[in-house]
Amino acid sequence: MKTYIVGNWKLNFTVGEASIYLHKLMKALPNHRDMEVVVAPSTVALQPLSLQIDRHKMKLAAQNAFYRDYGAYTGETSFLQLSGIVDYAIVGHSEQRYIFGQDDKMIAKEVAAAVRNRIRPILCIGETESERAFGETTDVIRDQLLGGLSEIADDDLEKVIIAYEPVWAISSTKVSKLATPDEVAEVVKLIRKTLVDTYGKKATEKVSVLFGGSVNPSNAGAYLTVPGINGLLIGGSSLILSEFTDIIEVAKRVKV
């Protein structure tokens, strides 16, 4: 299976800044046969960057999109409109869940819309600090996972990438707030068991699982060695050229 290194730029970079950064990133990256490097700029930058990007070296992802293909939905961008521009889309990120109020029902529709429009969804799931403290991690992970997958056929399951992002570990600079590899391994094992129990081993063996949560060059290797992990979803470090390329090099040594 491929190793995925996905950089989520969130609400950073103007279109011009994104173009300059992408140019530098492409110059710094060799082709990786067994690795997929993906970057997710803001929506306004996707179309111009799609004309600039070398798709042999990396691919584009949307940070979010709306599940309807067209209609009276002011301010939204559909997966249909993104088709041909991006290859991937981040769906159900915790910031969409907890800041903008997306629920599992809407997220399931977005996953289905992405698949329908030949865009691979990266379905983000993860528990908050309070949910973990109250012992609710298992229920939250199962609900978000199965809820997000509820509107696609079993045959399409392998088109979905799952990203475990514990909300309590995102954007943290404190060691005490970082998820340990053992903690990640426990949840990844739960994710894969839930998939097998629900869909069967054959339908789920090609499903990739990523980890995201304050990943940086120092801890990337440890997370990539967690059993069942196929790559990383990276926030802050994806905005710093040297850190992002260092993580890619770590991944190349560990996984390829």
User: Could you say which of 32, 93, 110, 243 is catalytic?
Assistant: 93
The pTM for the full model equals 0.95
Low-confidence stretches of the chain (pLDDT < 50) are 173, 175
User: Could you say which of 36, 95, 110, 165 is catalytic?
Assistant: 165
Position 256 scores a pLDDT of 58
User: Hey, what domains does the chain have and what are their CATH numbers?
Assistant: 3-255 (3.20.20.70)
Q: For residues 150 and 54, what is the distance between their CA atoms, to the nearest angstrom?
A: 34
Contact 107, 91 (CB under 8 A): yes
Known catalytic residue: 23?
Answer: no
Position 30 scores a pLDDT of 80
Position 172 scores a pLDDT of 53
Known catalytic residue: 165?
Answer: yes
